[in-house]
Structure 1
């Protein structure tokens, strides 16, 4: 019998950025390995201790895309309870908008990125119709927030 306690459930604090442009947002499209469901989520990641959410976004986008950003603005905060890969999750998510310093990125259909673990991904520009055909936008409540702010066409 192991004397090591099981890992404690914890709330994760995240910062995500939508980069809205002409009715579209930038999302990473991925599958839940347990269910096979396709999901769409803006880029970003965990907020580190002592780091402001707006600084976390700048760091994450630099790490994932190697791109500088500016005009970072908080759009809202969401609380997300979910199951992913068969495990329960709980996140407090600060949702931001920002601008890429390189305007040519808005003209590309997708942007090549790399996760912290080294795995590659392609971020795509999607509007509401694209998302309806691909899979839900996560975290829950994000699509409604963006619709209410008239940022997602």
Structure 2
């Protein structure tokens, strides 16, 4: 069994017209549907802003600009039956290809090669699909007037 550790994570919301871009997925143990912005782990020696640019290039094959830190969250959770602890830097940025904002979803690939479909969602979508994670993110975005 792996030693428990705190993971440093960078996520990007790409807010646009009251919506943000999220990956919708199910917890394999609870079958609960969750919504999470795109991003991933920050590597040793890498700044969070560089991590988000790298992750978006790896996952979507897209370049981004105007990366800005919105805030930081601490997340304690259980996923796939295992406890997790993350320090999450939450970013906003712009896709260099503006046409991406007009598409209902974007095709992507996880680091393990599994395909996923990221979609644009607003607050009402999280009420019907499943919660936005990490915990506290929806309140942060609402407080910043980025999500209704």
User: How does the TM-score come out when normalised to structure 1?
Assistant: 0.96
* Aligned alpha-carbon RMSD (Å): 0.5
Write out aligned runs for 1:64-79 (5 A).
64-79=59-74
Find the partner of 2:121 among 126, 133, 143: 126
Unaligned runs of 5+ residues in structure 2 are none
Residue number in structure 2 paired with 1:9:
4
Residue number in structure 1 paired with 2:94:
99
Distance in 2 (alpha carbons) for counterparts of 1:36 and 1:67: 30
Unaligned runs of 5+ residues in structure 1 are 1-5
Residue number in structure 2 paired with 1:148:
143
Residue number in structure 2 paired with 1:3:
none
- Structure showing greater Rg: 1
After TM superposition, where is structure 1 displaced by more than 2 Å over at least 4 residues in a row?
none
Number of aligned residue pairs: 148
Residue 46 of structure 1: how far off its partner (Å): 0.1
User: How does the TM-score come out when normalised to structure 2?
Assistant: 0.99
Distance in 2 (alpha carbons) for counterparts of 1:100 and 1:24: 14
Find the partner of 2:50 among 52, 55, 75: 55
Residue 66 of structure 1: how far off its partner (Å): 0.2
